[in-house]
Structure 1
Amino acid sequence: MALQATPYKVSLDISDMDRGVYETVKVTVARHPSETELRLVARIIAYAIFYHEHLAFGRGLSDTDEAALWQLSLDGQIEHWIDVGQPDADRITKSSRRAPQMSVLAYGNTRIWAEKLLPKVNDLKQVRILALPEPEHAELASQIGRNIHWGVMVTDGVLYVSDGDSQVELTLQELKAAQ
């Protein structure tokens, strides 16, 4: 018998000063049985960072042809493809051909991955790559429950994630800017 995805109820109060986005959103996020807490948290953070009213979670791990998140136009065209983790150069190149905007939110030890990857994707103008700081990301992942209510404030590339009891500051590292 196949393992079922675990649903997480997520409520985000997003205040993105950098983009002028102020929204309260409630979503249910399915966690694949093989997905770690770190990846789940990275997907939720990516949702907050790149929030748009047409942004949706893809099937991710269960369908490798889909993004972790994507923004679709009203006619179903992919406008923004968002991956989390450390995708290889071939996946980034292929994904960047499917959407006018492509972003990666990397996590984990990204130094060696970035050194190998960046020369291969540097000419892809629509690709933006951000990295989460490891200790703060791990701290958030260790605190999640099945019901998540976060206040997420973004200002000057820094995320402040608060759950009412504590706050974690995540300084995003921009490894590659879109041109």
Structure 2
Amino acid sequence: MADGSTIIKADISVSHIDSQDFLTRSEVIAVHQAESHQHLVQRLLAWAIFRHHQLQMSRAICVGDEPDLFVKRNDVQFEHWIEVDQLSLDRLEKAEAKSEHVWLFYCDQQKAQKLHKLINKHPSLQLVEIDNDMVENLSLLIEKNLAWSVMIDHDLLTVAAGDAFFESKLTLFHPLTVPAVDLIH
């Protein structure tokens, strides 16, 4: 465990209603003290709803060149590079050089505004927008043991955390010239 880290055990049941895909994801996560609860919630939501059996969560969120989540192709290349919250243009270029597909999960439209304008210049980039209210409310419920039920039904994301229940629209943006790689629905 890294200095200043908190250990969180996350158990998330995921139901993709439209594809009838059901799974349970469990992970013990070392959360660095510099990571906000909002960033952690966005990582957990991306981890829960992104459908790839080899999806991994980065072990060192504040260190190194790894993305927040990823699917490795080999030792140096990624099949999917996934960031949450924000993605600078420099980091986007690095991700495009190392990965076939680049994803950004975010809830703050202002942070992704530049990428929206440039999305057609980046054919490997897909943006997934989640409502900010859901992220904020879930961030208030972060505990050392998380048990969430997540349901994706077309463009609606529903999360049950304890007695709390939240809904968000899921919006997927991708370059108009390239078909979407839909690993969400």
Instruction: Give the TM interval when normalised to the shorter protein.
Output: 0.7 to 0.9
* Structure 2 match to 1:173: 171
Aligned to 2:156: 158
Q: Structure 1 regions of 5+ residues with no counterpart? A: none
Query: TM-score, structure 1 length as denominator?
Result: 0.87
User: CA 1:11 to 1:137, structure 2 compared with 1: closer, same or farther past 3 Å?
Assistant: same
Shift of 1:128: 0.6
After the TM superposition, which residues 83-162 of structure 1 pair with which residues of structure 2 at under 5 Å, given as runs?
Answer: 83-108=83-108, 110=109, 112-162=110-160
Give the CA RMSD over aligned residues: 2.0
Gaps of 5+ in 2: 180-185
The residue that corresponds to 1:27 in the other structure is 27
Aligned to 1:65: 65
In the TM superposition, what is the alpha-carbon distance from 1:127 to its structure 2 partner? 1.1
Q: Distance in 2 between matches of 1:82 and 1:142?
A: 24
Give TM-score, length-normalised by structure 2.
Answer: 0.84
C-alpha contact (below 8 Å) 1:59/1:67 kept by paired residues: no
Distance 1:20 1:82 in 2: 24
Percent pairwise identity: 27
- C-alpha distance in structure 1 between counterparts of 2:40 and 2:162, whole Å: 20
Residue 20 of structure 1 deviates from its aligned partner by 4.3
Task: Show the counterpart of 1:50.
Answer: 50
